[in-house]
């Protein structure tokens, strides 16, 4: 695979628009990934967190770290997850030294996230160039941001009690049941002296400025799934489903945009509460698909195995699904006789019961039709594979 080429930014230049060139040099996809992660390891600030630069996931916060000192808590969770996921691949290719160095960096990052990211009730969003916190209770605007909370869970490394507390604050402060909204942060930027960037140019409650941003809200769905809370995950997923915005004439008149594609955002401030914004956003649609299929229904393929680990509302009696593997069809029936959200009690493939606690089916492309029956219900000795601490804490609660 080739690289893209472009000129370096000039001094005091934060961005540039140009058509990049394609390099003559090529390298493997693996090497592209390694170079990207290596580049990130030299970009940390005074709190031990990744530098935010002119925007992380939220490019509208382009002046939080424009001087090169601002830091991102969210990016810390994301980088930790990425390093942890890729380190075993590096080790498997014979580079144990690099793998060890990455994991050591990830551990230092975890400590920084807990010492400098925790605000007392939830996790901060980051720090401005001058060291002022962002996403903190001391902020009059953007005092809590959703993605810093959801990724504390999705990264799998946050203190379990803190992550659970952070998600409780997310539910209390950012999920507005009366409007069917899950806003990105609150309060929106408006009159405070802090200048996070062009996000402040949007009116309060519009798009990233405190509206519901679907991409981020889907991460909250997946965080609730990771915690084993199928009721809250499914409730939030239903709000994000555009079809449900137009079930009634009044709802359609309020929403105003297509009910058959994912909207990037939904407005949250009067007089436009519930109105859809940009539509046909592939990123939001892709994450919604993953949240529904891989999160709630718990169906995810890993090579020649299919993981079946649902996280559903307790009221669901079950569901059926069809999974195709090449020319082979797997008919899956999930039964929930005990009214639980998560926990595979039994797995039967073509009439043969697999060992207790197993959640995977080995896939074979034999052009046949196979029957898979999954029974939910958690025996005392059940231990999900690689269950995160947050999930365990949630089950104990």
First to last CA, the chain: 49
- Whether 219 and 162 map to the same domain: the answer is yes
392 in a structural domain: no
Q: pLDDT tens across 299-356, in order?
A: 999 999 999 999 999 999 999 999 999 999 999 999 999 999 999 999 999 999 999 8
pLDDT at 378: 65
353 in a structural domain: yes
Residue 330: give the domain boundaries. Answer: 302-383
- Whether 255 and 109 map to the same domain: the answer is yes
pLDDT band for position 105 (cuts 50, 70, 90): very high
243 in a structural domain: yes
pLDDT at 128: 98
**Which of 273, 296, 319 marks a domain boundary?**
296
DSSP label at residue 390: H
pLDDT at 382: 39
Q: pLDDT tens across 151-190, in order?
A: 999 999 999 999 999 999 999 999 999 999 999 999 999 9
**Which domain CATH number covers 234?**
1.50.10.10
Q: Do residues 18 and 6 lie in contact, with contact meaning Cβ atoms separated by under 8 Å?
A: yes
Q: pLDDT tens across 107-131, in order?
A: 999 999 999 999 999 999 999 999 9
pLDDT at 14: 81
6 in a structural domain: no
Mean pLDDT over the full length of the chain: 93
- Whether 170 and 203 map to the same domain: the answer is yes
- Whether 182 and 202 map to the same domain: the answer is yes
- Whether 329 and 245 map to the same domain: the answer is no
Quick check: 384 pLDDT over 80?
no
| Inter-CA distances, 387 with 88, 156, 188, 226, 273, Å | 18, 9, 36, 9, 38
Q: Cα(206)–Cα(109) distance, rounded to whole angstroms?
A: 33
Q: Would you say how long the chain is, in residues?
A: 397
pLDDT at 15: 84
- Whether 338 and 379 map to the same domain: the answer is yes
2 in a structural domain: no
Q: Cα(11)–Cα(14) distance, rounded to whole angstroms?
A: 8
Q: Do residues 353 and 312 lie in contact, with contact meaning Cβ atoms separated by under 8 Å?
A: no
238 in a structural domain: yes
**Which domain CATH number covers 348?**
2.60.420.10
- Whether 96 and 82 map to the same domain: the answer is yes
Structure tokens at 20: 């990049």
**Which of 296, 311, 333 marks a domain boundary?**
296
Q: Do residues 214 and 240 lie in contact, with contact meaning Cβ atoms separated by under 8 Å?
A: yes
- Whether 205 and 321 map to the same domain: the answer is no
- Whether 121 and 61 map to the same domain: the answer is yes
- Whether 319 and 287 map to the same domain: the answer is no
> What is the share, in percent, of the chain residues with pLDDT greater than 90?
90
- Whether 210 and 286 map to the same domain: the answer is yes
pLDDT at 393: 36
What number of helices (H) and strands (E) belong to the chain?
A: 10, 19
DSSP label at residue 259: T
User: Does the predicted TM-score (pTM) go above 0.95?
Assistant: no
**Which of 274, 296, 318 marks a domain boundary?**
296
Phi-psi sector, 340: left (phi>0), alpha (psi -120 to 50), beta: beta
When divided into structural domains, the chain yields a total of 2
- Whether 251 and 336 map to the same domain: the answer is no
pLDDT at 396: 34
Mean pLDDT of 372-380: 81
111 in a structural domain: yes
Mean pLDDT of 64-90: 97
Q: Cα(3)–Cα(153) distance, rounded to whole angstroms?
A: 34
26 in a structural domain: no
Q: Do residues 194 and 126 lie in contact, with contact meaning Cβ atoms separated by under 8 Å?
A: no
């Amino acid at each position: 695979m080739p690289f893209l080429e472009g000129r370096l930014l000039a001094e005091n230049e934060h961005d540039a628009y140009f058509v990049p060139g394609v390099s003559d040099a090529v390298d493997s996809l693996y090497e592209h990934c390694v170079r990207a992660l290596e580049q990130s390891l030299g970009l940390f600030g005074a709190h031990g967190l990744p530098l935010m630069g002119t925007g992380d996931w939220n490019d509208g916060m382009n002046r939080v770290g424009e001087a090169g000192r601002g830091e991102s808590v969210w990016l810390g969770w994301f980088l930790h997850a990425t390093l942890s996921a890729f380190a075993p691949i590096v080790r498997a290719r014979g580079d144990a030294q690099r793998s060890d160095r990455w994991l050591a960096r990830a551990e230092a990052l975890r400590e920084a996230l807990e010492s400098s990211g925790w605000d007392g009730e939830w996790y901060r969003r980051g720090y401005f160039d001058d060291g002022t916190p962002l996403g903190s209770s001391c902020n009059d605007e953007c005092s809590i941001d959703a993605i810093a909370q959801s990724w504390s869970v999705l990264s799998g490394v946050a203190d379990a009690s803190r992550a659970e507390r952070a998600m409780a604050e997310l539910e209390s402060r950012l999920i507005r049941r009366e409007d069917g909204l899950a806003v990105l942060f609150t309060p929106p930027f408006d009159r405070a002296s802090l200048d996070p960037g062009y996000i402040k140019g949007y009116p309060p409650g519009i798009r990233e400025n405190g509206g519901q941003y679907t991409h981020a809200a889907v991460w909250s769905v997946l965080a609730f799934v990771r915690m084993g809370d199928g009721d809250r995950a499914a409730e939030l997923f239903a709000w994000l489903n555009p079809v449900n915005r137009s079930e009634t004439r009044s709802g359609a008149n309020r929403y105003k945009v297509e009910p058959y594609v994912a909207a990037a955002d939904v407005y949250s401030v009067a007089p436009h509460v519930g109105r859809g914004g940009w539509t046909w956003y592939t990123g939001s649609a892709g994450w919604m698909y993953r949240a529904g299929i891989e999160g709630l229904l718990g169906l995810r393929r890993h090579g020649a195995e299919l993981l079946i680990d649902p996280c559903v509302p307790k009221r669901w009696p079950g569901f059926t699904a069809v999974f195709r593997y090449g020319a082979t069809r797997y008919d899956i029936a999930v039964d929930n006789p005990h009214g639980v959200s998560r926990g595979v009690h039994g797995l039967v493939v073509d009439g043969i019961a697999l060992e207790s606690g197993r959640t995977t089916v080995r896939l074979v492309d034999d052009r046949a039709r196979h029957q898979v029956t999954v029974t939910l219900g958690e025996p005392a000795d059940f231990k999900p594979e690689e269950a995160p601490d947050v999930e365990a804490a949630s089950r104990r609660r």
